[in-house]
Amino acid sequence: MTVYNFPYKDASFLISEVLGFDRMCEEAGLEDMNSEMVAAILDEAGRLGSEIIAPLNSIGDQKGASLDEKGVHETPGFAEAYQQFVESGWPSLNASEAYGGQKMPRVLGAAVAEVWQSSNLAFSLCPLLTGGAIEAITVHGSDELKDIYLPNMVSGKWTATMNLTESAAGSDLAAVTSRAVPEGDHYLLFGQKIFITWGDHQMTENIIHLVLARLPDAPTGVKGISLFLVPKFLLDENGQPGERNDVYCVSIEHKLGIHASPTCVMNFGDNGGAVGYLVGEPHNGLAAMFTMMNDARQGTGMQGMSLSERSYQQAREYAKERLQGTHSDGTRFPIIEYPDVRRMLMMMKAATEAMRGLAYIAAAEIDRVHWAKDPKEAKKHAERTGLYTPIVKGWITELAQEITSLGLQIHGGMGYVEETGSAQHCRDVRITTIYEGTTGIQGLDLVGRKILADKGEVLQGLLDEIQATANAMSGIDELAGQASALKNAVTSGREARAWLLENAAQDRNVAGAVSVNFMMMLGYICGGWVMGQSALKAIHLLKGDGNDESFLRAKVVTAQFYVDHLLPRADSYLATVKAGADSIMALDADQF
């Protein structure tokens, strides 16, 4: 069985030093929150993750969820682990205090989420979706719905799901056809949803489904979709689960990875109608769902990073143990001695640290939106969050495919067979570029809504900030080379921005054709920025006494590796952006 340990040093360094967590909390008036507390919380989460949740990862892979006439049965051991997770108070970490939550900063929530996701992605999806539903109800639900449902969801006593997708409505949610018919103080829902994560299980006594459906008078398209809360069990007069509601899982998918996460086909209303309650305004359901988008999409980016970390840890241990060479004195040596294995390990280490840094920076930006005292400041942080989100989701999950694949490669043939568990990470991570909006949808969101819509102004601000980091690095001899590479990357970013603004207006295919490459380019530049900030901090701390010299030196070297081997990709993406749409769109559909 493979061991997992949360990378405390890197996480704490990023939160405390790079993000300046204590100063952030002070400015936000969170007097009782500080880096020491973060360390204690991460330590606690790390223990539960390593000891209880991670050991269930390969068990869940081998014996996934199953369905019989009583419903979906989760992998044996999951219910007990979930119980411990609830008893330790983890579901309530980020939720509002009004419903029993602890309202901890989002960036801390992101670090804690890494523990669950690295330990066991399939398990982590259940509380993750519940968190999203809590947020949707908190922001859009009536006081009555909040009072009735939120306390038990926040405590983790009940879990929740998101029911958006239908067989004809995937990326294009305008095509949703599920119906909701008014009946007294509630609605009756009819329709079928597919691919619903943790749509059913036996771990809790109720499951709260959030469902997109159309009212009878709904306009067509995305503006005619409403959001409903549909409990698995209707509540009795004491607020306890009573009568079974007309919503059932009718099948579960057999799929590439995350076998322990049941992916359910959910039928609503086969026996007269599933009772549901409107959340928010009629016809405004998609907007309600989209308020959680930054969280959910950044959370999916975190999943890519978390599995990259898990895969890295496993590959690192294997590389130290696997003897595959003989010294002249006859002693055998491990594969970590080979430069090419070092290259792969450094790729894994540098990419994962860059991903983690960017994911934390983006999560902290969500905190800044909530903490801003001035609406103008809040708007600025919200716009920056909007820019980061598709990069965190798109770039990290795409890069994670390569990183987990390198993890398998380091294992040689043992990676390809299931025994080592390395293949599971590749299979599990594959979904992250698909759900919560495919990579293509992230690219369109970035280029269309976040860059072209404001003529590249917010992007300009980010590039200026990266340039400022590069300027600060130039003043330090040891970082001068890294600084000039980062400056070049910023110049490439500016060139791509200008090219996009000029060309997207002239050819309607341009934005769609270049968007994913544009997003990948920005991802690599942001990664360089994070590594640059880390190197700056490390050099500063190395001058002081009592700091972890080995860790800090490794940070500077890892940043150098990033500049040498990952940052140059920004330039090749620039070339693909500037190639435009011509050769992409030149063939007729029947020439394929």
Ligand X SMILES: Cc1cc2nc3c(=O)[nH]c(=O)nc-3n(C[C@H](O)[C@H](O)[C@H](O)COP(=O)(O)OP(=O)(O)OC[C@H]3O[C@@H](n4cnc5c(N)ncnc54)[C@H](O)[C@@H]3O)c2cc1C
Q: Which residues bind ligand X (CB under 6 A)?
A: 162-165, 170-171, 195-197, 255, 263, 431, 434-435, 438, 440-441, 444
> 270: which 2 tokens?
């086969």
Q: What is the DSSP string of 442-477?
A: HHHIIIIIIIGGGTTHHHHHHHHHHHHHHHHHHTSG
Cβ 264 to ligand X shortest distance, Å? 8
Q: Which is nearer to ligand X, 45 or 160 (CB)?
A: 160
Tokens representing residue 316 in the block: 């690192």
Helix (H, G, I), strand (E, B) or coil at 243: strand
Provide DSSP, 421-435. Answer: SHHHHHHHHGGGGTT
Cα 139 from Cα 157, distance rounded (Å)? 21
The nearer residue to ligand X, 231 or 493, going by C-beta atoms, is: 231
Name the residue nearer to ligand X (CB basis): 77 or 170. Answer: 170
Which residue number has the CB closest to ligand X?
170
Q: What is the DSSP string of 302-354?
A: HHHHHHHHHHHHHHHHHHHH-EEEE-TTS-EEEGGGSHHHHHHHHHHHHHHHH
Residue type, 58: S
Cβ 94 to ligand X shortest distance, Å: 19
In terms of CB distance, is 435 or 573 closer to ligand X?
A: 435
Q: Which tokens go with 144?
A: 């009555």
- Least separation in angstroms between CB 504 and ligand X: 15
CB of 166 to ligand X, least distance (A): 8
To ligand X, the closest distance from the beta carbon of 277 in angstroms equals 19
Phi and psi (nearest 5°) for 198?
Answer: 55, 35
Identity of residue 193:
K
> What is the closest distance, in whole angstroms, from the C-beta atom of residue 585 to ligand X in the complex?
13
Nearest Cα to Cα of residue 257 among 64, 435, 1, 73: 64
CB of 263 to ligand X, least distance (A): 4
- Nearer to ligand X by Cβ, of 194 and 347: the residue is 194
| Angstrom distance (rounded) from CA 279 to CA 151 | 17
Q: Which is nearer to ligand X, 25 or 169 (CB)?
A: 169
Catalytic residue among 31, 135, 436, 465: 436
Question: Which one, 161 or 245, has the nearer CB to ligand X?
Answer: 161
- C-alpha–C-alpha distance, residues 456 and 505, integer Å: 13
| 212 close to 191: Cβ distance less than 8 angstroms | no
CB of 256 to ligand X, least distance (A): 9
Kind plus residue range of the DSSP H or E element containing 264: strand 263-268
CA of residue 303 relative to chain centroid, distance: 5
Q: What is the DSSP code (8-state) at residue 49?
A: I
The answer to whether 436 is a known catalytic residue is yes
Closest CA to 227 of 277, 161, 155: 277
Identity of the residue, 163 or 294, whose beta carbon is nearer to ligand X in the bound complex: 163
Greatest pairwise CA separation for the chain in angstroms: 86
- 293 CB neighbour count, 10 Å cutoff: 17
Q: Which is nearer to ligand X, 255 or 494 (CB)?
A: 255
Query: Rounded to an integer, what distance in angstroms lies between the CA atom of residue 403 and that of residue 419?
Result: 19
Whole-number minimum distance, CB 203 to ligand X, in Å? 16
9's CB contacts (< 8 A; 6+ apart) are: 548, 551
Segments of 387-442 assigned E as strands:
none
Cβ at position 512, least distance to ligand X in Å: 6
CB of 551 to ligand X, least distance (A): 37
* Triad 109, 2, 299: Cα angle to 5°: 25
DSSP 245: P
Nearer to ligand X by Cβ, of 318 and 435: the residue is: 435
119 vs 433, beta carbon nearer ligand X: 433
Rounded Cα–Cα distance for residues 208 and 116 (Å): 22
Other C-beta atoms closer than 10 Å to the C-beta of 589 total 5
DSSP-based three-state secondary structure for 4: coil
Q: At what angle do helices 510-542 and 339-371 cross, to 10 degrees?
A: 100
Find the angle CA(26)-CA(28)-CA(31) to the nearest 5 degrees: 45
As annotated, the active-site residues are 436
